[in-house]
Amino acid sequence: MSHRKVDTNELQPGMVTSSDIYCSRSGVLLLKKGTVFHQAVINYLQNMDPEAVIYIEEGLDDTTNMTGSPREKFDPFYCDEKKELEGSIGQIHTIPSEVADEETKKIYIQAYKTINEIYKNRKIKPYIKEIFEVLDYLVKKLSVNPEMMLQVALLKKIENYCLSHSINVCVFAAYLGKLLGMDIVTLKELSLAGIMHDIGKLDISPEILRKKGLLTDKEFESIKLHSLHSFIRLASVENVGKDVLNGVLQHHERSDGSGYLHGLKGNDIHLWGRILGIVDVFDAVTSERSYRNSVSQHEGLEMLLSNSFQFDQNLLSLFIKNISFYPIGSRVLLNTGETGIVTGIHRHIPFRPIVKIQNKNKSGERVVDLSEQLTLFIEKIILD
């Protein structure tokens, strides 16, 4: 198979990268070898790094040769309903007790069941009391002991992407709100905006949402309207405040004006829209589900950070600095194939902890500080 060099402005949907692509300024990995370009990926790369050096496979620019779905790999909108929901809920019981206590699991499962009912029955009103009750528990628990709730969200143990993403955005948004000093009542409202931010997808054609191939411009325009539909659906429900409505309406606006629906910039975007924008993308890029076979959690996070100009810098750094990706004592798999135990955390570089690694031949152990060993990184937490 031969390959050729192309500029970002020559990229066409269906082309396939023949090598990893790194940012020409920061050296951060942008795309992995074998990535199939579709329009959203092209836009992403052209925005991120117009000078990037790109090599593509010759003769592999037919979209029928794609393996898997590009939308599944790159698009947080992607929703696979084939997963049995009950089976997915069952998996949460496998989370070890040192990661989350029974109360946390119970709250998470209840939130999952309620949001599942809302999506299944396509109605918010009959469940609004129930969802407020769940969020009341969730926010109170998060206020007292955020670590456990965050770890459940970070572990991504529920496989249905749409539903787990809704809850994770809710948890991360409430956590960021707590870091900002919001009171319990406000946090409950913010968590409602988080769990409902994508409810407007119910108004987008399922064929478009589930489409495996490339989206046409018209289809993408249709998908963009989901934040407006979320707004409209929530606006018809009693007791839903203006901040919630503005948050869901503006969760795809970006600080540099590149977002939608209105291309708002900076602080013209409502605070809750800025919060939801960060945690929405954070959960999407750190989710193996949406980036399966494409980028690891670590790479996804670096992609988010290298795209940080799209977000409120203060909010983003506050959030990232306060997330403990790998709690002390957790078993992790490294990119070398070795396993280790996390023994220390750097508060300001939470995704590069200190790890005690078992040597490959089991001849002993060594302690490695990942903040100093930049070629080493954690692929994932190992749950037995």
Q: Which residues of this chain interact with Fe ion, rule CB under 5 A? A: 198
SS3 39: helix
Most distant CA atoms of the chain, gap in Å: 65
Q: Residue 94 is encoded by which pair of tokens?
A: 């496998």
* C-alpha R_g of the chain: 21
Taking each continuous run of H as one helix and of E as one strand, the counts in the chain are 15, 9
Token match 């060099």: residue?
5
CA distance 321 to 13: 36
- Give the H/E segment covering residue 5: strand 3-6
Smallest separation (angstroms) from Fe ion to the CB of 285: 14
Contact 44, 263 (CB under 8 A): no
Smallest separation (angstroms) from Fe ion to the CB of 68: 22
Smallest separation (angstroms) from Fe ion to the CB of 379: 27
Name which of 198 and 302 has its Cβ closer to Fe ion.
198
* C-alpha closest to that of 196 among 231, 144, 153, 222: 231
SS3 157: coil
Backbone torsions φ then ψ of 70, nearest 5 degrees: -60, -35
Name which of 211 and 380 has its Cβ closer to Fe ion.
211
Name which of 198 and 299 has its Cβ closer to Fe ion.
198
CA distance 278 to 50: 23
Chain residue at closest Cβ approach to Fe ion? 198
SS3 29: strand
Name which of 188 and 229 has its Cβ closer to Fe ion.
229
Smallest separation (angstroms) from Fe ion to the CB of 280: 6
The b/e string for 304-330 (b: 16+ C-beta within 10 A; e otherwise) is bbbbeebbbeebbeebbebbbbbbeeb
Residue 350 burial class via C-beta count within 10 angstroms: exposed 0-12, middle 13-18, buried 19 and up: middle
Name which of 252 and 298 has its Cβ closer to Fe ion.
252
Backbone torsions φ then ψ of 47, nearest 5 degrees: -75, -45
Smallest separation (angstroms) from Fe ion to the CB of 311: 15
Contact 159, 88 (CB under 8 A): yes
Name which of 270 and 352 has its Cβ closer to Fe ion.
270
Name which of 201 and 298 has its Cβ closer to Fe ion.
201
Name which of 186 and 250 has its Cβ closer to Fe ion.
250
Smallest separation (angstroms) from Fe ion to the CB of 179: 22
Smallest separation (angstroms) from Fe ion to the CB of 374: 33
Smallest separation (angstroms) from Fe ion to the CB of 382: 31
Name which of 57 and 280 has its Cβ closer to Fe ion.
280
Smallest separation (angstroms) from Fe ion to the CB of 222: 13
